[in-house]
Amino acid sequence: MKIKHLLYTFAIVFCSYTVSAQTKVGTVNINILVSKLPEIAEVQKGMEAYEKELQADLKAKLDAYGKEVEAANAAFKDMTDEDKKKKQKEIFDLENDIQKFRQNAVQLVQLKQDELMRPLYKKVGDAVAAVSKEEKYTQVFTLDGNELAYIDPQYDITLKTAAKLGLKLDEEK
């Protein structure tokens, strides 16, 4: 009876060891790594230059608007009702253009930042993948967003699940 109990214990310990040996999970703080890359200074310079460019464009639009309003005010008393309506519409269109530009500027800045940061995140992602493979991690989560930064492809069941569903996917995702 003791031998049987000892064998069960050994089997449980062996199985739990092999199960735990199959997966190795790690974490990484991607944003800290990206912020320490030397290339970040170039990204910041690029963003500053882009923001100055947008500010210059906005200033040009505001200057044109100011001149248009000034000219309209000076000539308003001599205009016909139809000309006044046309001028008011032109000024209104300029106001709308400025408003749209301001709204779009926030999105344009975000797009530019994403464009400039993408190579840095790729560089860090490639390094995370290399370290993960060297250290035999099966999964690595980011600390900043709790997302997967790396997963060993052998644990990806997308293709098997697609086959189960009767879907055909390309081998490379």
Angstrom distances, CA of residue 29 to CA of 41, 145, 146: 19, 9, 10
pLDDT confidence tier of residue 121, bands split at 50, 70 and 90? very high
Please give the structure tokens belonging to residue 12.
């449980």
SS3 labels along 14-25: HHHHHHHHHCCE
Extents of the domains making up the chain? 23-152
The whole-chain average pLDDT of the chain stands at 84
Residue 100 has pLDDT above 90, yes or no: yes
pLDDT confidence tier of residue 13, bands split at 50, 70 and 90? low
pLDDT of residue 2: 59
Residue 19 has pLDDT above 60, yes or no: no
The DSSP secondary structure of the chain, one letter per residue, reads -HHHHHHHHHHHHHHHHHHHHH--EEEE-HHHHHHHSTTHHHHHHHHHHHHHHHHHHHHHHHHHHHHHHHHHHHHGGGS-HHHHHHHHHHHHHHHHHHHHHHHHHHHHHHHHHHHHHHHHHHHHHHHHHHHHHHTT-SEEEETTT--EEEE-GGG--HHHHHHHTT----S--
Residue 172 has pLDDT above 70, yes or no: no
pLDDT of residue 97: 94
Give the global pTM. Answer: 0.67
